[in-house]
Structure 1
Amino acid sequence: MSLRVATVITRLSGGAGTLALRGAAALDPDAHEVTLITGSGSLLRQAEEAGLETVVEPALRRPVAPAHDLLALHRLTALLRGFDVVHTHCSKAGALGRVAARRARVGRVVHTFHGFGFHRFQPAHRRRAYVAVERRLGRITDLALCVGGGVAVEAVQRRLLPPERIRTIGVAVDHAAPRRDEETRRRARRALGLAPDDVVVGAVGRLTYQKAPEHFIAALAALRRPEVVGVWVGDGEEAERVRAQAAAAGVRAVLPGERDDVVRLLPALDVFALPSRYEGLPLAIVEAMVCGVPVVATAVNAVGDVVVPGETGLLVPPHRPDLLAGAVAHLLDHPDRAARLAAAARERVAGRHEIGQLADALAQAYRAE
């Protein structure tokens, strides 16, 4: 019997939006009728091209806005009636969607933690409040899917749900993505307007507080290497501030905005460097590994699932752009070691994080055991 599944996410964009879309599109259409409900997003066109029914609910917005949130809750409750499963993603849609699902008497509620809305850089009282909210929501959640082992471990430690209702999943990447070689490197650099002899350090992600793009620029400045160009693929509320910071620091930075051809751009990079304050398991890191780009990242949440220090990449503490710069410099100065790390990373993710594996995990999650 076919299940009617509602996938609810605030913004269908970025890594979380991509994972939600790839999972929904990969499900067996004979066994699942999926409707995507979102407030906005750059991936709406891709969802429609994948044949998924999409519903845009403008009241579903990311910032906390009580009037819009109450309106979104009311509308979601009406929208979700008649579904067999509601699958929510991220904090805002996760809260409103799960409450609406229970009000609509949906039989099964699944939530994906791509990371957490609470983190150690928040005031303690706010962090405690967010944890308390998630624990209450856990009471009306049949199953939590955690993107990465580090996220699942924290969910268990924080007692967000009983242990038997917490599962770990991976991200889903295209393992046929172009591997970094001279030809793919040349094409990617041409697409970004870069010279063949530029030394390129890059990242992918929304330009937000979470991703700490200001630390990326600070690390580039600390390198003191005029031949280095920084590339950050993605858009967000910090874009103008990052541009101004780069100009003031004399850093060469290319910010091409949000792109739908990220995997074709990754071979342009000599080093992938992500300075996030907190994360789940970043899709972009796994994609960089599949492409054969050496990785430096911050040691947060589930990043260590794939970036094993000294084995598949280098890890540094968050909020330390000086150490990020040192790790990047090490890989630039030791290309043979960088190549070995990249090869080991590519081997580690081979056969993992496949779209079919995500589809299987979702199909199991949607059917009560």
Structure 2
Amino acid sequence: MTPLRVATVVTRLEGGAGALALRGALALDPDRYEATVVTGGGGRLLAEAEDAGLETVVVPGLRAPIAPHHDLAALGRLIRLFAQRNFDVVHTHCAKAGAVGRIAAHRTRVPRIVHTYHGFPFHEFQRAPRRAAYVGIERGLGRITDVGLCVGTGVAVEALRRGLLPPRRIRTIGVAVEQDAPVLTPQTRHSARRALGLPPDATVIGTVGRLVYQKAPEDFVAALREVDRPDVVGVWIGDGEIADRAREFAARSGVPLVFPGDRADALALLPAFDVFAMSSRYEGLPMAVVEAMRCGIPVVATAVNAVGDVVVPGETGLLAPPARPELLADALRHLLDAPGDAVRMAAAARAKVEHHHDAAALAETLRAAYRDEEPGSCWPL
């Protein structure tokens, strides 16, 4: 059988979307697929892709903000690349790569165009005209998309409700997380706190994510301030475009908050947390939340998009509305003050996700999407 030539196109190979795109490319059977990762850039994950032997192509014009000059340059580069390489499938991730990549694939008559919706470029915190424009663009792109893979039920429901694709072309997937995630034990907690330079007896509220507007780090800081417990230390693992502002805001707020930056060992650091907190304004299904649940860390998150697939209020964690740090703080205080509830929810969460969200399920979903077949298994969300 001739291998299927697949171009995985992602705006930047970083964060949860970049990790899922890379894990998908790595999950493909090399005897049946030739995978090429096309990206605007990236740090650790780009190096990881190259070390794994994947072909990588960097298109510098692929960048998140709308920038017509760079966008047109990226479009031209992708058109030339797709025309030269005769890919059988172009699979795009993220809004910018999703727009530029799908247009380039359509213009060069790529036989199969697949897009993963990790979330959407439109959300409730935008002005109505901009939100309407983004919805209109996504509907137009949907007309040239063969399959839309939605990360989580909430994302799939929104795609259907907004009419981005016909129902028959929408499929729901989960996230593929590392199966060797550490389990919370006294030993893993001690090791993780030592690696972060934290006191062994501190009460730690932590998170993992890029320091960008979407993740609302200022709400995370405000929630820690509202918790108002002198023994609490915050940890934010990750980097991003507003990292300096986040550090300055935390310092002005008087909140003890550690910023270790982007860490390759982020998974091994999760046991340092007493509670994992996610403050995002909007999301798909965050990989870090699932990883924290697998580790056995109780979770508090904002009730956005597909987070409710795994964080079931009162059963596997607690949810709070986005942009309401005082309510996020109230949920955090409850888990700190009621350790029995925290342990019960963490155990239920671990049982819910422990044997799911792996590379094998992702590979099966991609096989079906790339070859226009029904998936042989579903994601148990």
Which deviates the most, 170-179 or 306-315?
170-179
Aligned to 1:333: 337
Query: How many Å separate the matches in 2 of 1:350 and 1:201?
Result: 22
Aligned to 1:38: 39
Query: How many Å separate the matches in 1 of 2:319 and 2:102?
Result: 35
TM-score, normalised via structure 1 length: 0.99
Query: How many Å separate the matches in 2 of 1:60 and 1:111?
Result: 16
Paired letter, 1:207? L
- Following superposition, the deviation at residue 293 of structure 1 comes to 0.3
Paired letter, 2:131? R
For the pair 1:185 / 2:189, whether they are aligned, the reply is yes
Q: Deviations over 1:85-112 (max 9, x none)?
A: 0000010000000000011110000000
How many residues align? The count is 369
Q: Deviations over 1:287-323 (max 9, x none)?
A: 0000000000000000000000000000011111001
Alignment partner of 2:76: what SS?
Answer: helix
Aligned to 1:286: 290
Aligned to 1:260: 264
- Choose from 63, 66, 74 the match for 1:64: 66
Aligned to 2:100: 96
For the pair 1:368 / 2:369, whether they are aligned, the reply is no
Q: Deviations over 1:97-150 (max 9, x none)?
A: 000001111000000000000001100110000000000000000000000010
Alignment partner of 1:40: what SS?
Answer: coil
For the pair 1:246 / 2:250, whether they are aligned, the reply is yes
Q: Deviations over 1:60-81 (max 9, x none)?
A: 1111110111011011011112
Paired letter, 1:80? F
- Following superposition, the deviation at residue 175 of structure 1 comes to 2.5
Q: Give runs of aligned pairs for residues 196-235 of structure 1, distance below 5 A.
A: 196-235=200-239
Aligned to 1:87: 91
Alignment partner of 2:116: what SS?
Answer: strand
Paired letter, 2:116? T
TM-score, normalised via structure 2 length: 0.96
Query: How many Å separate the matches in 1 of 2:162 and 2:306?
Result: 15
- Following superposition, the deviation at residue 335 of structure 1 comes to 1.1
- Following superposition, the deviation at residue 49 of structure 1 comes to 1.5
Which deviates the most, 213-222 or 347-356?
347-356
Aligned to 1:53: 55
Query: How many Å separate the matches in 2 of 1:245 and 1:68?
Result: 32
Query: How many Å separate the matches in 2 of 1:165 and 1:173?
Result: 25
For the pair 1:6 / 2:7, whether they are aligned, the reply is yes
Q: Give runs of aligned pairs for residues 314-325 of structure 1, distance below 5 A.
A: 314-325=318-329
Aligned to 2:376: none
- Choose from 61, 74, 84 the match for 2:76: 74
Which deviates the most, 193-202 or 240-249?
240-249
Query: How many Å separate the matches in 1 of 2:73 and 2:243?
Result: 30
- Following superposition, the deviation at residue 350 of structure 1 comes to 2.1
Gaps of 5+ in 1: none
Aligned to 2:379: none
Query: How many Å separate the matches in 2 of 1:351 and 1:187?
Result: 25
What is the CA RMSD across the aligned residues, in angstroms?
Answer: 0.7
Aligned to 2:24: 23
- Following superposition, the deviation at residue 223 of structure 1 comes to 1.2
Alignment partner of 2:49: what SS?
Answer: helix
Query: How many Å separate the matches in 2 of 1:201 and 1:186?
Result: 15
Alignment partner of 1:210: what SS?
Answer: helix
For the pair 1:130 / 2:131, whether they are aligned, the reply is no
Paired letter, 2:52? A
Paired letter, 1:111? H
Query: How many Å separate the matches in 2 of 1:319 and 1:69?
Result: 31
Query: How many Å separate the matches in 2 of 1:73 and 1:249?
Result: 43
Aligned to 1:301: 305
Query: How many Å separate the matches in 2 of 1:93 and 1:285?
Result: 25
Query: How many Å separate the matches in 2 of 1:88 and 1:260?
Result: 25
Aligned to 1:355: 359
Q: Deviations over 1:163-213 (max 9, x none)?
A: 000000000012321101100000100111101011100111111111111
